[in-house]
Amino acid sequence: NAGVMQNPRHLVRRRGQEARLRCSPMKGHSHVYWYRQLPEEGLKFMVYLQKENIIDESGMPKERFSAEFPKEGPSILRIQQVVRGDSAAYFCASSPKDTQYFGPGTRLTVL
Amino acid sequence: RKEVEQDPGPFNVPEGATVAFNCTYSNSASQSFFWYRQDCRKEPKLLMSVYSSGNEDGRFTAQLNRASQYISLLIRDSKLSDSATYLCVVMDTGRRALTFGSGTRLQVQP
């Protein structure tokens, strides 16, 4: 059973470009979560989704960030017009219920 | 005040030592508690869930004190491979979002 998969593992963008991060949950898991870890800081919750629904987006920045989990395909975290402060590790997790299992993360670097 | 507070360490201990980490949380409505470990630049990995009755998994023992809003992790007979950052994590009632502490760094030395 493959774990949570994320791609790309490393992403470099210039200021003003768009970043798209993808997450495929573990087989059988219908809950997906996105977290961000800034350098030298702890993980911070961003958004919780189930198929085709955003359940809790209380941790999402109000502008430039969006997330989706379509009926088919991976969950996508989209960051528009990236700024240097968006440089971080973005981790996706999935769960069957309460216990969350994390993917390897995408390291975003904004130049 | 942070929602989940941990001593950042580092804790430098020799192999074979017993080491204990503590964590406090501010929201009395928190319902689920976990310890995760995170190796440098890697994803967090679940170490164990924490129950009110206390639970043990091999060399690891976790305790929860709801009245004091306090969680602990005890590692016995430390191994070099235990070197990592240990994250105290809580989940609030009615939500699925995890709240992470900043982590306690452990370095086990030969």
In the predicted model, what is the mean pLDDT of residues A51-63? Answer: 93
Quickly state the pLDDT bin for A80 (edges 50, 70, 90). Answer: very high
Which residues 45-104 on chain A approach chain B with CB closer than 8 angstroms? Answer: 45, 48, 55-56, 58-59, 89, 91, 93, 95, 98-104
Residue of chain A whose Cα is closest to the Cα of B6: A42
Residue B41 near chain A (CB below 8 Å): yes
Q: Cβ-count burial of B7 within 10 angstroms (0-12 exposed, 13-18 middle, 19+ buried)?
A: middle
Quickly state the pLDDT bin for B25 (edges 50, 70, 90). Answer: very high
Question: Dihedral, CA atoms, B29, B33, B39, B44, nearest 10 degrees?
Answer: -80
Q: What is the C-alpha end-to-end distance of chain B, expressed in Å?
A: 37
Indicate the pairing of strand A43-50 with strand A31-37: antiparallel
How far apart are alpha carbons B28 and A20 in whole angstroms?
Answer: 37
- The model's pLDDT over A6-53, given as tens digits with 9 standing for 90+, comes to 999 999 999 999 999 999 999 989 899 999 999 888 899 999 999 889
The whole-number pLDDT of residue A70 equals 92
Quickly state the pLDDT bin for A1 (edges 50, 70, 90). Answer: low
Element of type H or E holding A43: strand A43-50
Q: Which residues are B89's β-sheet partners?
A: B34, B100
Q: Is the pLDDT score of B95 beyond 90? A: no
Quickly state the pLDDT bin for B62 (edges 50, 70, 90). Answer: very high
Residue B40 near chain A (CB below 8 Å): no
Distances (CA, A) of A19 to A13, A60, A74, A89: 7, 15, 15, 13
B95 interaction partners in chain A (CB closer than 8 Å): 56
Quickly state the pLDDT bin for B51 (edges 50, 70, 90). Answer: confident
Residue B16 has which token pair? Answer: 């074979």
